[in-house]
Chain A
Amino acid sequence: MSRCSKLVDVGRRQFLRGGAIAATGAATATVLPAERAKAAPASAIVDYPSNKLANTADLAVNEPMDIKYPDADSPGALIKLGEAVEGGVGPDGDIVAFSVLCPHKGWLMAYNGEDRTLNCPGHFSRFDVETGGQQVWGHATQNLPQFTLRVDDKGDIYAEGASDLIFGRPSNVL
């Protein structure tokens, strides 16, 4: 027998001590299935993989690198901006990463290096990579999912989370 049913037994004994409603408890117990449903244990937050995206040496200013995170079906962009921004990582505090699926209808967006925005060809939404992916103008109801980055001593850049739900999935980690 599993540990689960032992716990049920403990619970039942405690319940039967209740006296007045003991009969009900006993009656309920008699119709319990032999195998009790087991509550699936789950973490309160999604467990994100820690994936190496690149090394700081691989990045040139304002030349986005295509990445996939948290899995191969979720395209993103890793960008070194050349100037520190809030939320930026790396020695210069200027490295950021975002999902490039538009959070309106999931179209793949393109980077405009001139004004450092991601632009959606589907319905003309655009997002500012220098202000944490804020929607400059558009139809989405959230800002761009920004990937949480960590840089180790060797300059390797890891993605380890996301700030918002990525288009097209009920959970960022499927």
Chain B
Amino acid sequence: MAYKRQIDRLPIPPANAKVHNVTCHYCIVGCGYKAYTWPRNKQGTLTDNAFGIDLSKQQPADGTWVAPSMYNIVRQDGRDVHLAVVPDQDCVVNSGLASTRGARMAENRPSRVTGTQQQRLSDPLIWRNGTWQPTSWEDALDVVARVTARIVTEGSEDDLVVSMFDHGGSAGGYENTWGTGKLYFESMKVKNCRIHNRPAYNSEVHSTRDMGVGELSYAYKDYELTDTIFVIGANPLETQTNLFLNHMVPGMRNGARFIIVDPRRTVTVNAAEEVAGAENVLHLAINPGSDMALFNALFTYIADQGWTDSDFIANSTFQGGEAQPLDEAHPAGLGSMDYALETCRTSVEGAAETCGVSAEDIVKAAEWIAKPKDDGSRRKCVTAYEKGIIWGNDNYRTIGALVNIALATGNVGREAGGVCRLGGHQEGYYRPSDAHVGRPATYVDQLLIRGGGKIHHVWACDHFKTTLNAAEFKRQHRRRANMVKDAMDAAATGTREQQVDAIVAAVNAGGLFVVDVDIIHSQIGQNAHVILPACEANEMNLTSMNGERRMRLSERYMDPFGNSKPDCLIAAGVAQHMERVLREMGDDAYADQFKGYDWETEEDAFMDGYNQGNPEVTYERLRSMGNNGVQEPVVGYENGQLIGTERLYADGTFGGPDGKALFCAAKWRGWQAPGKAREKAEHEFWINNVRANIFWQNQFLDQDNDFIQDRFPYPFIEMHADDMARLGIGAGDLVEIHNGNGATQGMAYPTDTAKPGQVAMVFGSPAGSQGNVVNPGVNELILPNYKHTWGNIRKLADATPLTKAVSFKSKEYKQA
């Protein structure tokens, strides 16, 4: 039976509760919330309270309500206070809507009083005497600095491998990307680094950037104004929930049609049909990985029909044939529309065959995207894409082929247009140049697997749950880390100098010294030798921007848990200890490179970084802009208001040569990544890698949330009933997916809309890493293809008591 909270009343925030601006730190949409805090021994009343409403009456639908998950008792300035984090009716992003993630921000705070999130790290830990022992920051950072300084001076900075977030929201943000960026890209020039969700330090969307079209150029309100919403490889009702509910749904109610390209029928398709009517929704359930062929056919058909925007093409796009030839750093040539079309030209019939959808539906999509209206006016279209093609087949060319359509139809930089990624985390990138990393960047996972690198600094990443080729990565990482653990155990009674000598000897023999900075003891953290506890947004002030570049200051309303600290201040601590140790070693010149980290607060890091490049933007000004913030780039400050930019490219000037946008010569080549075609041929099931709205990212907090774990105690694997029957699998049975890369397991979830031979497994689960079965294949620029994996499935065990209690009904809304 379902989890019951057994809560039948909550404290009421009093009228004088402190109110803090909060931007949800989970997904990229960045919904606005208000955090109310008040003393433990105070409360409001039904009629006199912080909301200014009569709570003695039943509130209407959409009315203000504090759900139990929005409440907690947390530490603020050393005192226990009540906390309520409630969606903000006045925030234009969400208009008072809460997602199932954001509405749990309060209960996902660490609290010694209510017992929530006791998995949070409170103190630095060092591997000592066969386990992790608590210690001081001074002691932990001394070890980190001594080992790191020895290795990079005896060898080079290339021996230091760094995995670090590059995003906004919970871990990153402008303060923390700057702190880490200054350490590794300014004080040092670390090139063997990677980002939290991919095995290299690179863009996820190189091609659109190379084409001069940044991937977040529109405003969310464009969805409300457009004629057609064209979504590819995304499931926004689950993963950008309030962008869908508060912007796409109003768009459909205003008459917009909805095209969605996804091999799987999702709850987004279902909801769009409910809102717009099935006749106004076109679901192109293409063969996995065939997106580019579809885009090329749409581009060709639209061009041949003359439905292109000739003025836009003439004025805003490159005219001179080839601008950028195909080369090692560019997996496709770039240039004028004519140049690109020559390569992209694909017939509707040809695409229909490749994609497994009807020619009629492809033509219908082209008409909905670009056919002028009956009165001759231009049809407007917003194009939105995400992991289905970012983590899909032939990333560079596929995204380029999609952007071609938007450019050809003039749907960029204009109201009701845009060709944008939907995004995962918020953004919050401000770092020194990463040019030294190179392009293509190092495939860091392979470097580590091959025995490369001697030290691994990990910042808020858990590759064990999220990387590809994960089974092999884990084996090698663990083996190398254990060499160092053994050496540390053997030198346990020695001096610090002897201990450092032992670590250095172990890494020189093939071991790996691992420093893990995180908020919890993660799975990759099991291999760490030093663990440094970080805090999250609202335990510090944090700035980020959302998917329409809306920048907000999400305010600190509680203390960091235990002795944890903001990442930027941890980075500063590493730098300061590096300077001290290097000076002791007599290397003053190198030590000097680690000066400039005398930050007391996260605001100091913000002023040292983001503010240097954006002098108009300060904490005080952002605070006064509230939950609506300002859309970047900020272009001025007038009358007490920061002046932002609603849309990029509004003047028709793009980021390519001479301000022109480029088209992409996206030549279809079947399965691009090595090994995919053979894996497909040799296995029975396509293993789709999918998300679920209730999990944030790899469940790092949700794994300790009873409501969430009760719903899906194990990762779900959606399967067609016929496949289950053939393999003798029942609902809730534990099943294994296996192939030549490894194996993983989950819980079978019978799904009537699943296609036979295709299963959908939720990504990043602590109880079953899908990455175990994903092969190491990447594109030329080291973009992984997580989405295309094939394997066989076998039953491991009957449904357990946990899974027997779970509902296996359809996830689709069904009217009575």
B805 nearest CB neighbor, chain A only:
A131
Taking CB atoms and an 8 Å cut-off, the chain B residues in 791-811 that contact chain A are 805-807, 809-811
Binds B, one of A5-13, A14-22, A165-173: A165-173
Q: Is there an interface contact between B68 and A105, defined as CB atoms closer than 8 Å?
A: no
B69 touches A124 (CB 8 A): no
Taking each of B67, B68, B807, which has the highest tally of chain A beta carbons within 10 Å of its own beta carbon? B807
At the interface, yes or no: A27 with Cβ under 8 Å from chain B?
no
Bound complex: CA of A128 vs CA of B62, how far in Å? 22
> Known contacts A163-B6, A170-B12, A174-B46: does B98 contact A119 (CB below 8 Å)?
no
A169 engages B69 (CB within 8 Å): no
Instruction: Check B59 for interface membership: any CB of A closer than 8 A.
Output: yes
Set of chain B residues within 8 Å of A69, measured between Cβ atoms: none
> Which single residue of chain B is at the shortest CB-CB distance from A137?
B811
29 contacts between A and B (CB under 8 A): A74-B58, A87-B1, A104-B100, A105-B62, A107-B62, A108-B61, A112-B816, A113-B816, A115-B809, A115-B810, A115-B814, A124-B267, A124-B271, A124-B274, A126-B809, A131-B807, A140-B67, A141-B100, A141-B104, A142-B707, A143-B3, A143-B707, A144-B2, A164-B7, A165-B5, A167-B59, A167-B67, A173-B9, A174-B57
What secondary structure prevails in chain B residues at the interface with A?
loop
Residues of B within 8 A of A163 (CB): 4-6
Q: Which of B76-101 contact A (CB under 8 A)?
A: 97-100
Which positions 106-159 of chain A face chain B at CB distance < 8 Å? 106-108, 110-117, 119-126, 128, 130-144, 146
CB of A81 within 8 Å of the partner chain: no
In whole Å, how far is A83's beta carbon from the nearest beta carbon of chain B?
14
A116 to B442 CA separation, bound complex (whole angstroms): 53
Q: Are A172 and B814 in contact (CB under 8 A)?
A: no
Q: Is the CB of B46 within 8 A of A165?
A: no
Question: Residue on B with the closest CB to A88?
Answer: B1
A162 to B271, CA, bound (A): 30
In the bound assembly, the distance between CA atoms of A135 and B711 in angstroms comes to: 8
Task: Quote the shortest CB–CB distance from B387 to chain A (angstroms).
Answer: 20
Q: How far is the CA of A74 from the CA of B811 in the complex (A)?
A: 26
* CA gap between A57 and B813 in the complex, in Å: 32
Alpha-carbon distance between A70 and B713 when the two chains are bound, in angstroms: 32
- Chain B stretch 262-297: residues in CB contact (< 8 A) with chain A: 267, 270-271, 274
Asked if A60 lies at the interface with its beta carbon under 8 angstroms from chain B, I say no
CB-contact partner of A126 in B59, B61, B66, B813, under 8 A? B813
Is the beta-carbon distance between A142 and B67 smaller than 8 angstroms? yes
- Asked if B60 CB lies within 8 Å of chain A CBs, one says yes
| B267: nearest chain-A partner, CB-CB | A137
Beta-carbon contact of A140 and B2 below 8 Å: no
How far is the CB of A17 from the nearest CB of chain B, in Å? 27
Q: Closest CB-CB distance, B60 to chain A, in whole Å? A: 7
Interface size for B (C-beta < 8 A) is 57
**Alpha-carbon distance between A71 and B532 when the two chains are bound, in angstroms:** 52
A103 at interface by CB-CB < 8 Å: yes
Say yes or no: B807 contacts A136, CB within 8 Å: yes
A165 near B9: Cβ-Cβ < 8 Å: yes
Known: A106-B59, A123-B245, A168-B65. A134 touches B8 (CB 8 A): no
> Is A105 in contact with B809, judged by CB distance below 8 angstroms?
no
Is the C-beta of B403 less than 8 angstroms from some C-beta in chain A? no
Q: Which chain A positions have C-beta within 8 A of B70?
A: 141
Q: Would you give the shortest CB distance from A108 to chain B, in whole angstroms?
A: 7
Is B815 located at the chain interface by the 8 A CB criterion? yes
Q: In whole angstroms, how far apart are the Cα atoms of A128 and B65 in the complex?
A: 23
Judged by a CB distance under 8 angstroms, whether A86 is at the interface is yes
Q: A103-B67, A138-B100, A142-B69 are in contact. Are A170 and B9 (CB under 8 A)?
A: yes
| Complex alpha-carbon distance, A130 and B804, angstroms | 12
**CB neighbours of B61 from chain A (8 A):** 101, 105-108, 122
Q: Tally inter-chain residue pairs, CB-CB below 8 A.
A: 174
Closest A residue to B5 by beta carbon equals A164
Q: Which residue of B is nearest A124, CB measured?
A: B813
Is the pair A132, B810 in contact by a Cβ cutoff of 8 Å? no
Q: A106-B61, A136-B809 are in contact. Are A112 and B68 (CB under 8 A)?
A: no
A169 touches B58 (CB 8 A): yes
Number of interface residues of A (CB under 8 A): 61
Partner of A128, one of B6, B59, B104, B807: B807
Interface residues of B (CB under 8 A from A): 1-12, 46, 55-63, 65-70, 97-100, 103-104, 107, 237, 241, 245, 267, 270-271, 274, 693, 707, 710-711, 805-807, 809-816
Assess whether A45 is interfacial by the CB under 8 Å rule: yes
Nearest chain B CB to A41 CB, angstrom units: 16
Instruction: Determine the chain A residues whose CB is within 8 A of the CB of B67 once the complex forms.
Output: 103, 140-142, 165, 167
List the interface of chain A (C-beta within 8 A of B): 45-46, 48, 73-74, 85-87, 101, 103-108, 110-117, 119-126, 128, 130-144, 146, 161-165, 167-174
| A124 B809 Cβ-Cβ under 8 A | no
From A86, A106, A172, B8 is in contact (CB under 8 Å) with A172
Q: A131-B2, A137-B812, A142-B68 are in contact. List 20 more A-B contacts (CB 8 A).
A: A46-B9, A74-B58, A86-B805, A104-B98, A106-B62, A110-B815, A112-B814, A119-B816, A131-B1, A136-B811, A139-B241, A140-B100, A141-B68, A143-B4, A161-B8, A163-B4, A164-B8, A172-B8, A174-B57, A174-B58
Do A165 and B10 have beta carbons less than 8 Å apart?
Answer: yes
> How distant is B554 from chain A, measured CB to nearest CB, in Å?
20
Give chain A nearest CB distance to B106 CB in angstroms: 10
A128 touches B809 (CB 8 A): yes
| A135 / chain B contacts, CB cutoff of 8 Å | 2, 711
Closest to A105 in B: B62
Are the CB atoms of A86 and B1 closer together than 8 Å? yes
A130 with B9, Cβ < 8 A, contacts A123-B245, A139-B241, A141-B100 known: no
Q: A139-B103, A141-B100, A141-B104 are contacts. A106–B65 as well, Cβ < 8 Å?
A: yes
Contact B98 A170 (CB under 8 A): no
Q: Which residue of B lies closest to A125 (CB)?
A: B813
A73 to chain B, nearest CB (A): 4
Shortest CB-to-CB span from A48 to chain B, Å, is 8
| Cα A121 to Cα B452 with chains together (Å) | 55
- Are A171 and B8 also in contact (CB < 8 A) when A110-B815, A131-B806 are? yes
Contact status B7-A169, CB under 8 Å: no
- Selected from B5, B12, B100, B814, the residue in CB contact (under 8 A) with A114 is B814
Q: Which residues of B contact A111 (CB under 8 A)?
A: 816
A-B CB proximity, top 10 nearest = A168-B59, A134-B2, A171-B9, A141-B69, A73-B58, A132-B1, A132-B2, A137-B811, A128-B807, A124-B813
Cα of A142 to Cα of B705 in the assembled complex, Å: 11
How far in angstroms is the closest Cβ of chain B from A110?
4
CB distance from A39 to the nearest CB of B (A): 12
A111: shortest Cβ distance to chain B, in Å?
A: 6
Cα distance, A85 to B2, chains bound together (Å): 11
Shortest B58–chain A CB gap in Å is 4
Q: With a CB–CB cut-off of 8 A, which chain A residues contact B237?
A: 124
Q: Chain A nearest CB: distance from B344 CB in Å? A: 37
Whether B59 lies near A124 (C-beta < 8 A) is: no
B814 proximity list for chain A (CB < 8 A): 112, 114-115, 117, 119, 126
Residues of A close to B811: CB separation below 8 A? 126, 136-137
Q: Contact check: which of B7, B11, B68, B270 meets A124 at CB < 8 Å?
A: B270
Q: Are B807 and A172 in contact (CB-based, < 8 A)?
A: no
Tell me the bound Cα distance from A103 to B97 in angstroms. 12
Chain A minimum-CB-distance residue to B241: A139
Asked whether B7 lies within 8 Å of A112 as measured between CB atoms, the reply is no
Contact of B711 among A103, A126, A134, A165 (CB under 8 A): A134
B residues within 8 A CB of A87? Answer: 1
Contact B806 A134 (CB under 8 A): yes
In the assembled complex, the CB of B9 is this many whole angstroms from the nearest CB of chain A, namely 4
Q: For residue B733, give the distance in angstroms from its CB to the closest CB of chain A.
A: 17
Q: How far is the CA of A170 from the CA of B98 in the complex (A)?
A: 17
Q: Which residues of chain A are near B104, meaning CB under 8 Å?
A: 141
**CB nearest neighbor in A for B104:** A141
Contact A132 B4 (CB under 8 A): yes
B8 near A165 with CB under 8 A, answer yes
> A46, B8: Cβ atoms under 8 Å?
yes
B137 CB to nearest A CB, Å: 35
